Homo-oligomer: A and B are copies of this chain.
Amino acid sequence: MDTAANRPDCELCRNDGGHLIWRDERWRVVRVEDAAFPAFYRVICNHHVAEFGDLLATERARCMDLVVGVERTLRELLSPTKVNLASLGNMVPHLHWHVIARFEWDSHFPQPVWGAAQRVLQPAAAQRLPRGLDELDDAVAQSLRHA
């Protein structure tokens, strides 16, 4: 991992990048506030590194353990149709993994969240989740304390 000092011009070096759920020295998990996809978390490297392949094997394993920790909590609490995982970073090239619970009823399914909307939701997505976001955040944090 590039352990160079964090970069003042990098958004994810400067800011948490969402609602902070959990952190340790190397990693943090935030919930993205997205009305269309309320069960949307990010696993973010605290240090500036651009590509997943820049991590050491042990760091990659740790990173994916955290991703899977979030994934499993979303599946246990929400029974989503699918979980989407992605590390893109075209706009902010600082390693972060999107972990998004998807539902066949959501606005874009089966398209990616970055694709074209398929329908208009009424009521809003958060109201259709079987659990509240506070409960979800607590369960994610709890799972990561044991990851």
Which residues does A use to contact B, with CB under 8 Å?
50-53, 57, 60-61, 64-65, 67-68, 71-72, 75, 81-91, 93, 102, 109-112, 114-115
Contacts and interface: CB of A to CB of B under 8 A. Distances in A.
Nearest to A55: B68
A84 to B, nearest CB: 5
B75 A84 contact: no
8 contacts: A51-B71, A52-B83, A53-B71, A84-B89, A85-B87, A88-B112, A90-B112, A91-B110
Contact of A88 (B64, B75, B86): B86
Given A51-B75, A85-B52, A64 B60 contact: yes
Interface centre among A50, A85, A88, A93 (most CB of B within 10 A): A88
B102 A90 contact: yes
Contacts of A87: 84-86
